[in-house]
Amino acid sequence: MHCIFCELIREDTASWVARGPVACAFTPLNPLAPGHTLVVPTLHYADVFDTPPAILTEVTALVQRVARASRTALNASGVNILSAGGPGSEQSVPHLHFHVVPRWMNDGISTWPAGSSVHHVAGDPGALLATALASGRHHTT
């Protein structure tokens, strides 16, 4: 399977913000804002469902470091952290990635969904999630 992020990492052609053995960060070709950064695991994991917890911990720690750097280096007043996982989420590249998008007051962009899902589930979604977590049904075998 061809993965553009794996190719960037392997060929060392990304515009690196940070590079480590477990997680790395680089700027996208079409940034949403100055300092927009993609944070990914160095090895290929398709999405949040596929990524081992220890790797996810390292990746999210780098997300936090990039977010903090956005405040200090770019004087951002906040950040949006965006990620999509799986085919129903509009994930564009099948390699786990987090967008760290620096934000400023009145910067002209909106990253919050404009509407709500039309999908419905039978029962109370919060209770269904709580039951799945308590029973261990959230684990993949």
> What's the token pair of residue 133?
């977590």
Which position among 36, 44, 95, 97 bears the catalytic label? 97
Those residues whose C-beta lies under 8 Å from the C-beta of residue 117, and which sit 6 or more positions away, are none
Query: Residue 98, class by beta-carbon neighbours within 10 Å (0-12 exposed, 13-18 middle, 19+ buried)?
Result: buried
- Tell me, yes or no, if 139 is annotated catalytic: no
**CA pair distance 129, 132, nearest whole angstrom:** 5
Residues in the chain: 141
The catalytic site residues sit at 97
